[in-house]
Amino acid sequence: MKTTINFSPNFSFKKREKRQVKFVIIHYTGMQSEIESINRLKNPKYKVSCHYLISRKGEVVQMVKEKNIAWHAGKSKWKQFKNLNNYSIGIELVNKGHQFGYQNFSNQQISSLIKLCKKLKKKYLIKKENFLGHSDIAPLRKIDPGEKFPWKKLSKHGIGKWYVKVNNKNKINQKKMEALFFKNLQKVGYRYVTNTKINLKNKMIVKAFQRHYLPNNITGKINQKTFKISHFLTG
């Protein structure tokens, strides 16, 4: 996997130890071109960056050294961790995103991403469940990498947690199911859950979960399948 260097000045100068890297956070650039994306990630005005950017052709560009903290996650939480910039490697995939015409990720992109993630997983001993999307750690602000990102495919390479086929047997009533679902979400790692009822914030978190695990059913509503997937993931 060939990697080119195009460093951004946007990072924290405080260096971290190898053991502090526990996550890989995957994003899309959400801009109209690769050049525009790189320029934004290098512009001090915007205070954003990533460790790696992967083009539509699968070309990998390193923009911040791994020992430095890139500014990609923003305000974020997962399990007991806050501000995941401090604990993660950030990877941006060139994609116009929902604002400019959301695209399928190219085969070349995903192939390069898998190779890079395998390398990072081995180097930092990152758990498979700690490969996450931006919308997982910031569900009230972000929706990337979005419903077209192939989490299931990556899971077959030990990147990201997935579930086995679930059925709709042994149904439980809606009120109990909703309460258990939000408890499951917190066990999985999702934060920002305010209570065990459907409100605007919790609906956004449900959508983030569905965007990752049920990309063809992003309703914000908790049905039997959404609940059973959450239950499986706590095991």
Contact criterion met (CB below 8 Å) for 171 and 225: no
Which DSSP category does 32 fall into?
A: S
User: What was the pLDDT predicted at 2?
Assistant: 85
Query: Is 16 buried (19+), middle (13-18) or exposed (0-12) by CB count in 10 A?
Result: middle
Residues contacting 209, CB < 8 A, separation 6+: 139, 185, 190, 226, 230
Phi, psi of 227 (to 5 degrees): -65, -45
Contact criterion met (CB below 8 Å) for 91 and 97: no
User: What was the pLDDT predicted at 167?
Assistant: 74
User: What was the pLDDT predicted at 68?
Assistant: 97
Identify the active-site residue in 34, 92, 147, 178.
92
DSSP string, 53-96: EE-TT--EEE-S-TTSEES-S-S-EETTEESGGGGEEEEEE---
SS3 per-residue string spanning 211-226: HHHCCCCCCCCCCHHH
Segment 17-44 mean pLDDT: 98
Please list the helix, strand and coil fractions of the chain in percent, rounded to the nearest 5, in that order.
Answer: 40, 15, 50
Instruction: Please say if the pLDDT value at position 225 is more than 80.
Output: yes
Is 3-155 in CATH node 3.40.50.300?
no
Segment 220-225 mean pLDDT: 94
User: What was the pLDDT predicted at 87?
Assistant: 98
Instruction: Please say if the pLDDT value at position 198 is more than 90.
Output: no
Would you kindly state where each structural domain of the chain is located, as residue ranges?
Answer: 3-155, 174-233
User: What was the pLDDT predicted at 171?
Assistant: 79
**What proportion of the chain, given as a percentage, has pLDDT over 70?**
100
Q: Among 72-81, 85-94, 174-183, which is the least confidently predicted range? A: 174-183
Whole-angstrom CA distances from 235 to 98, 173, 184 are 33, 22, 10
Segment 30-45 mean pLDDT: 98
Per the annotation, the verdict on 92 as an active-site residue is yes
Beta-bridged to residue 219, according to DSSP, are: none
Q: Can you read off the two tokens belonging to residue 186?
A: 């917190």
User: What was the pLDDT predicted at 115?
Assistant: 98
The more confidently predicted of residues 167 and 151 is 151
The mean predicted confidence, pLDDT, of the chain is 95
119 pLDDT band (50/70/90 cuts)?
A: very high
Instruction: Please say if the pLDDT value at position 197 is more than 80.
Output: no
Segment 50-72 mean pLDDT: 98
User: What was the pLDDT predicted at 196?
Assistant: 73
Instruction: Please say if the pLDDT value at position 233 is more than 80.
Output: yes
Phi, psi of 13 (to 5 degrees): -75, -20
Query: Is 198 buried (19+), middle (13-18) or exposed (0-12) by CB count in 10 A?
Result: middle
Contact criterion met (CB below 8 Å) for 107 and 98: no
Segment 2-30 mean pLDDT: 96
Q: Among 93-97, 182-186, 191-195, which is the least confidently predicted range? A: 191-195
67 pLDDT band (50/70/90 cuts)?
A: very high
Element (H, E) at 26: strand 23-28
107 pLDDT band (50/70/90 cuts)?
A: very high
